[in-house]
Chain A
């Protein structure tokens, strides 16, 4: 029986990414309890398939399982949220009204930003979280979401554009030279 070794190895390589797993699930489900269920389910799956994991980036490996689990969950429970976005290029030029350099955020700004991110379509939200919070490269995100790198780039561009639109008045110019 290799179970104990396996479990120790799992504990060592996978458990440290619990926060990343929870953060992603929390942003995808937008709910604390659902996120916990998804993460628990994902960890069970990860443990089951752990024998097939031979090194490499353990965080990416775990996060793709979390992502799949979350999508399966959304498919089952909140199908309407999965209306897919089209990945066409955008052509309109962004507005150039504000000139923000330094941002002073208060609590309500933070809540506003959180809400704005939550309102993004799930495909956009996911690339924003993986890029901005996990600092993953386009390539890593592309592999995880199984889309071309160009799609990751255009989704990020559109997600940011949407955030800029909904946060317009929050991104007021601060001190600029």
Chain B
């Protein structure tokens, strides 16, 4: 690749929109070419300037009220109806909402901020892994290379699966650090999207169903199984990420 070919592509590289082959080619070029690596650094700098410039406009509070009032349902509700749906709705939603929250709290589905902190931590790790050239410590699509690599580095054996046939080839593995401990990170790929799976021994041995979250545009799915806790993070859409999680389990 020459400087001209990379001119536009390095934006896609900065946005992590390229496949691994292209990514590698660009990284090669950037390490050899001062001008392009400088220009790339400038793109990153602009990105962080935009991020820290508070550009996001929050909707004014009264806008929500204005919209609710303008939706047809309210305008057409009439007192002659046998059953006033709008009245029902007006009280029904808050009541149902409160009941739902109470239910969630009672069943422990909404956990306090430790979960939120972990969610943020996992997202940050994912983002970090995509930046710089530190996606993998061991780059291999062979599970029999990746799995033994972890032996002797961590005190547990993460399950490593070969999912190439299902469209999620293994890219490699990495040591990462979450919740004050070393964790295993496995990297899989779906077309141009990368998936990080963070794995460490679960504090409790019980299996849990998947919970999903969205942070900074990334989808996260978390579950416990076979004594391990799992977090899958990717910019893949939820449906495909769920499909991936089904395969991993």
Residues of A participating in the B interface, judged by any CB pair closer than 8 Å:
1, 3-4, 7-8, 10-11, 15, 18-19, 21-23, 26-27, 32, 35-36, 39-40, 43-44, 47, 57, 89-91, 93-94, 96, 98-101, 103, 105, 109-110, 113-114, 117, 128-129, 131-138, 153-154, 156-157, 160, 163-164, 167, 170-171
Contacts and interface: CB of A to CB of B under 8 A. Distances in A.
A121 B225 CA distance: 51
A164 B46 contact: yes
Dominant secondary structure of chain B at its interface with chain A: helix
A171 B53 CA distance: 12
Contact of B63 (A11, A36, A90): A36
B35 A96 contact: yes
B8 A100 contact: no
Nearest to A105: B52
Interface residues of B, number: 51
B42 A94 contact: yes
B50 interface: yes
Interface string B142-172: 0000000000000000000000000000000
Contact of A36 (B45, B60, B86, B92): B60
B85 interface: yes
Interface string B211-223: 0000011100000
Given A138-B17, A157-B7, A163-B46, 10 more contacts: A3-B85, A7-B71, A26-B57, A39-B63, A100-B42, A103-B48, A132-B47, A132-B50, A135-B216, A156-B11
